[in-house]
Amino acid sequence: MNAIELTGPATDRLQRIVLPAPDAPGIGRVHVRMEAASLNYIDLAVATGRYGSLSYPLIPIADGAGEVIAVGRDVWQVKLGDRVAIHSKPYWTAGHGNGFVANHTRGVTERGSLIEIAEVDASSVIKVPDHLGWEAIATLPVAAMTAWRGLEEAGIGPGSTVVVLGTGGVSIIGLQLAKARGARVIVTSSSDDKLERARALGADDTINYRRNPEWQQDVRRLTDGIGADLVVDTAGGNEFGRAIMAVRYGGTVYAVGFVADTTVQLALLSLISNGVRVIGINGGSAEDLAGAVAAIGAKGINPVIDRVLPLSALEEGYLLLQRGGHFGKIAITLDW
């Protein structure tokens, strides 16, 4: 069977390889014929050598979707022909997890999605709603799971206010899922065009942080001085300190990404005196992904895809992600 291998820390070190087809799946295991993948910043970090100590070569990309084509004994979660998303943390089934389950990730320590047939544990695949196509399904494992876990941790529901930074994958599905839970959502971006698109998706308020770099003040103004219940921080760097000042007393800052910078400086007193909860995210459980998928099915949500690329344009996808400017997700069709 075909696969794509990343042989070193550079986006031009991708090569097609041929691997033996897997044997029949073992107890509790399934085979999934992979149809699509999508890119996350973790994939870019892996492909550029910025994700800790990695062992190359590896089969990259955490997110993927496909059809169940074989099932082992004692599999009850799915059946032949089911269309599924594969959870990015193969050993994290439910609960808050631990260092072991958090640090094992598809496309990093485990085989990723760029393979014709993936053999995985049945507890790590989630059946998906019929209205979603392959590329849309492939956007869900990291982004939807991450956003849903943050909304759960912060207890977001009707009357809550959520701020999402930027218009990348986690932020946009976070907007959609927060609205599905009845929340008010504020979106920040440097692009008025993107903010208009966010409003079309249901954003209640928008802030252009290029014109208003102290966007936390706008959040306070829009919430009558109270602050937001949750800020989903995909940026890091200086924006993290602003996120701390944007939440209400006892509010939550959900540290998701480091697009701006991995180094943070902040006034510690503002965190302490405001009783802010800071939650770092290094994944979540298959149960979290299932919760997000259930909401997507119930509300008929369509994940936003900026563009779909063929497998032959994979390197271009990495470079697009690196440059930024996308709205939602970048998906890859696995057209072997």
The Cα–Cα gap between 208 and 222 comes to 14
Q: Which residues on adjacent β-strands are paired with residue 254?
A: 232, 279
pLDDT, mean of residues 90-115: 95
Q: Is the pLDDT of residue 236 over 90?
A: no
Joined together, the tokens standing for residue 272 give 């302490």
**Residue recorded with tokens 């907007």:** 175
pLDDT band at 286 (very low <50, low <70, confident <90, very high): very high
pLDDT band at 51 (very low <50, low <70, confident <90, very high): confident
pLDDT band at 268 (very low <50, low <70, confident <90, very high): confident
pLDDT more than 70, % of the chain: 98
18-36 pLDDT tens trace = 999 999 999 999 999 999 9
Q: Does domain 144-280 have CATH number 3.40.50.720?
A: yes
The Cα–Cα gap between 155 and 265 comes to 27
CB 106 within 8 A of CB 62: yes
Contacts 24+ apart (CB under 8 A), 23-28: 24/70, 24/72, 25/70, 25/71, 25/72, 25/75, 25/119, 26/72, 26/73, 27/72, 27/73, 27/74, 28/72, 28/73, 28/74, 28/75, 28/121, 28/122, 28/123
pLDDT, mean of residues 46-57: 89
Bridge pairing between strands 228-233 and 117-121: unpaired
* More confident of the two residues 128 and 267: 128
pLDDT, mean of residues 263-292: 85
pLDDT band at 301 (very low <50, low <70, confident <90, very high): very high
| 185 to 37, 163, 207, 237: CA distances (angstroms) | 28, 6, 11, 22
pLDDT of residue 263: 67
The Cα–Cα gap between 97 and 281 comes to 11
pLDDT band at 258 (very low <50, low <70, confident <90, very high): low
pTM of the model: 0.94
pLDDT of residue 259: 62
pLDDT of residue 52: 77
pLDDT band at 90 (very low <50, low <70, confident <90, very high): very high
309-324 pLDDT tens trace = 999 999 999 999 999 8
pLDDT of residue 272: 84
| HSE-up (13 A, CA, CB side) for residue 40 | 32
Per-domain residue ranges for the chain? 2-139+303-333, 144-280
CATH code of the domain occupying 2-139+303-333: 3.90.180.10
pLDDT, mean of residues 50-68: 93
Residue 192: phi, psi to the nearest 5?
-65, -35
Q: Among 29-38, 194-203, 278-287, which stretch is predicted with the lowest mean pLDDT?
A: 278-287
CB 136 within 8 A of CB 305: yes
pLDDT band at 266 (very low <50, low <70, confident <90, very high): confident
pLDDT band at 325 (very low <50, low <70, confident <90, very high): confident
197-224 pLDDT tens trace = 999 999 999 999 999 999 999 999 999 9
Helices (H), 118-191: 134-138, 140-153, 169-180
